[in-house]
């Protein structure tokens, strides 16, 4: 089937920068391309927008199809449209940032679809297209938005220690934070509370567990309306 237009139309795709915290590091999800161009190299998950779906929904669908992941937090980053960013034809892509806590990171489903892997930001492979640029912007945006407390909460599990949460902030900012000041600020926000349980993880005093007070503040389920 062929589609004909009076004027030339670019193709429109979405690409998703998926961040998660694994092995105590901030990681990004990449998939290995199984077709030209850039066959065999790594790329952000993504694909073409279908004609009857919104951009956001396309991002959500592509992420699910390519990796099996269900993104609760999915925010538009920006559109990238340099004329030669794809060697095949003119492709304008709308980039999204997704945040997924590692405990909801179903690697089974991810590896099922394609060769998908989490990469440390310091040891990235060669990336296809202008994906290095998109990824840099995504990291920048993540930093800028960190003042919104729900960002970091999206990257920890349902219950977490304050040290874990602090580590998330430190990884995103790329610098260490003071423990007492961090706790003072986070607790002053009033979004989280101690569960009463503790986590023990070594030859030292156990850490108190915290959780989000009002789950509607930090949705863990995707908020996507049916098309």
Partner DNA sequence: TCTTAGTCGTGTATATAATACACGATACTT
Partner DNA sequence: AAGTATCGTGTATTATATACACGACTAAGA
* Interacting residue ranges for a second copy, rule: CB under 8 A: 1-12, 48-49, 51-55, 76, 78-83, 90, 92, 94, 227
Q: Which helix (H) or strand (E) holds 113?
A: helix 107-113
In this chain, which stretch among 28-36, 79-87, 128-136, 157-165 interacts with DNA, using CB under 7 A? Answer: 157-165
Residue 78, contacted partner among DNA, a second copy, none, CB below 5-8 A by kind = a second copy
Partners of 29 in the beta sheet?
A: 118
Considering beta carbons, is residue 69 or 95 the nearer one to a second copy?
95
Picked from a second copy, DNA, none, the partner binding residue 49 (CB below 5 to 8 A depending on kind) is a second copy
Q: H or E segment at 19? A: strand 11-22
- Give the relative orientation of helices 162-173 and 131-145 as an angle to the nearest 10 degrees: 130
Q: Please choose which of a second copy, DNA, none residue 137 contacts, taking the beta carbon within 5 to 8 angstroms, the exact cut-off set by kind.
A: none
Site membership for DNA, residue 88 (CB under 7 A): no
Among residues 82, 143, 185, 213, which is the contact residue for DNA, using CB under 7 A?
185
Distance of CA 6 to the CA centre of its chain: 38
Taking Cα atoms as reference points, which of 51, 52, 89, 67 lies closest to residue 15?
A: 67
Partner from a second copy, DNA, none binding residue 9, C-beta < 5-8 Å depending on class: a second copy
Question: Which token pair is 145?
Answer: 């938005």
Member of 41, 76, 159, 161 binding DNA (CB under 7 A)? 161
Half-sphere exposure of 186 (CA within 13 A, CB side): 28
**The pair of three-digit structure tokens given for residue 38, joined into one six-digit string:** 């850039």
The helix or strand, by DSSP H or E, that contains position 133, with its residue range, turns out to be helix 131-145
Instruction: Give, to the nearest 10 degrees, the angle between helix 162-173 and helix 179-189.
Output: 100
163 binds DNA (CB under 7 A): yes
User: Applying CB under 7 A, does 206 fall inside the site for DNA?
Assistant: yes
Q: Which does 184 bind (CB under 5 to 8 A by kind): DNA, a second copy, none?
A: DNA
Residues binding DNA (CB under 7 A):
161-163, 178-181, 183-185, 198, 200, 202-208
């Amino acid at each position: 089937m062929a589609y004909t237009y009076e004027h030339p139309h670019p193709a429109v795709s979405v690409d998703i920068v998926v961040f998660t915290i694994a092995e105590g590091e901030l990681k990004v999800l990449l998939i290995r391309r199984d077709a030209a161009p850039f066959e065999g190299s790594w790329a952000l998950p993504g694909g073409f927008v279908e004609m009857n779906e919104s951009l956001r929904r396309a991002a959500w669908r592509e992420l699910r199809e390519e990796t099996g992941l269900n993104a609760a937090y999915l925010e538009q980053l920006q559109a990238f449209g340099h004329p030669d960013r794809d060697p095949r034809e003119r492709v304008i892509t709308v980039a999204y940032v997704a945040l997924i806590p590692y405990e909801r990171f179903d690697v089974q489903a991810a590896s099922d679809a394609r060769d998908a892997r989490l990469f440390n930001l310091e040891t990235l492979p060669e990336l296809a297209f202008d994906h290095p640029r998109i990824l840099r912007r995504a990291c920048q945006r993540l930093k800028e938005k960190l003042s919104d407390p729900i960002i970091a909460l999206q990257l920890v599990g349902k219950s977490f220690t304050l040290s874990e949460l602090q580590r998330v902030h430190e990884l995103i900012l790329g610098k260490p934070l003071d423990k007492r000041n961090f706790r003072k600020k986070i607790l002053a926000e009033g979004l989280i509370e101690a569960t009463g349980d503790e986590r023990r993880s070594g030859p030292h005093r156990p850490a108190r567990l915290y959780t989000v007070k009002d789950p509607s503040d930090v949705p863990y389920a995707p908020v996507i309306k049916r098309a």
